[in-house]
Amino acid sequence: MKTYRYWAWLHKELVPYFYSYAYRMFESPNLRLLRRGPMTYSLRVGNEIYAPIVTEPSDRMDIQLPFGQWVYYWDESTVVSGTLVGFPVPLGGEPVFIRMGSLIPMDVERAETGHGTTQSKGALTVLVYPSGTSSFRYRADARTPWITFSSTLTDTQLTLTAAPGLPEQPVLYRIGRWAEAPESVAVEGAQVTVNQGGTLPRLASEAAVNSSKESAWFYAASARRLIVKVVP
């Protein structure tokens, strides 16, 4: 029941991601059933999420990843590529990988999946796994325009942008695999800059940032995660 509950909530939180791909189905398919190498089936969701399908009871399996580097969903300190032999796939830790460079919009309203807190409700959460330059085209619904979220990482300097501008609600960037608290964070319009100067206030907790009425940031050292809230 606990595992089912987790996946049900995660699926709900990913609705903005799924909707964005649904609106651009004419450009590229968003679900692809693949046969790859030593494994039987796998599911590629867009360009960002890859999930080998466990077809029989087992706590380990061989996995062939698509090209590139992939973050292991259950442990963001693990980045893998190529063929994984005997990779652990325990119940409740089914194999899911996120491509380095991904930006994933989510609707988070509770702490069930670990992607935010109850104070996240009302904001658009965007998971970011910085690597070089990458982007994601997001659309909330037919009434709203496309927004391109972009991430550019150079050494320890990160720039996040939303073009042509921010959505109607606040944006909560959850930046994974960030090694240490930044020296500075700044928000100017629809752009966030990290370690490039600026005096955006640092708050004492994730919940404080999520509930803040103003733009702010927090660094979660144990998770190596930088959280930046941008209020339009």
Q: What is the DSSP string of 70-125?
A: EEETT-TT-EE-SEEEEEE--TT----EEETT-EEEE---SSTTSS--GGGTTSEE
The band of 156, judged by pLDDT with boundaries at 50, 70 and 90, is very high
Given the structure tokens 């807190």, which residue do they identify?
A: 117
Token pair of 79 as six digits: 């980045």
Handedness of CA 37, 38, 43, 49 (dihedral sign): negative
What pLDDT sits at residue 213?
Answer: 97
User: DSSP assignment, residue 11?
Assistant: H
Cα–Cα distance for residue pair 5/106, rounded to 1 Å: 17
| Helices 2-13 and 15-23, packing angle to 10 deg | 40
Residue range 103-230 in CATH 2.60.40.1180? yes
Q: What is the pLDDT of residues 195-228, one digit of tens each?
A: 999 999 999 999 999 999 999 999 999 999 999 9
Element housing 208 (H / E): helix 206-211
Is it the case that residue 121 has pLDDT exceeding 70? Answer: yes
Percent of the chain with pLDDT over 90: 75
Rg (CA), the chain: 18
Q: What is the pLDDT of residues 51-104, one digit of tens each?
A: 888 777 788 988 989 899 999 999 999 999 999 999 999 888 889 999 999 999
The band of 27, judged by pLDDT with boundaries at 50, 70 and 90, is low
- Give the mean model confidence (pLDDT) for residues 34-52: 69
The band of 184, judged by pLDDT with boundaries at 50, 70 and 90, is very high
Cα–Cα distance for residue pair 159/70, rounded to 1 Å: 21
Q: Domain limits of the chain?
A: 2-99, 103-230
Is it the case that residue 158 has pLDDT exceeding 90? Answer: yes
Same CATH fold assignment for domains 2-99 and 103-230: yes
User: DSSP assignment, residue 196?
Assistant: S
The band of 38, judged by pLDDT with boundaries at 50, 70 and 90, is very low
Token pair of 134 as six digits: 């990458």
Element housing 8 (H / E): helix 2-13
Class of domain 2-99: mainly beta
Q: Give the SS3 label for residue 143.
A: coil
Q: Do residues 42 and 36 touch, judged by C-beta distance below 8 A?
A: yes
Q: Are strands 97-99 and 157-163 parallel, antiparallel or unpaired?
A: unpaired
Cα–Cα distance for residue pair 164/38, rounded to 1 Å: 44
CA distance to 71, 82, 209, per residue, from 216 (Å): 26, 38, 6
**CA-based nearest residue to 210, from 64, 136, 110:** 110
Percent of the chain with pLDDT over 70: 93
Half-sphere exposure of 171 (CA within 13 A, CB side): 27
Is it the case that residue 161 has pLDDT exceeding 90? Answer: yes
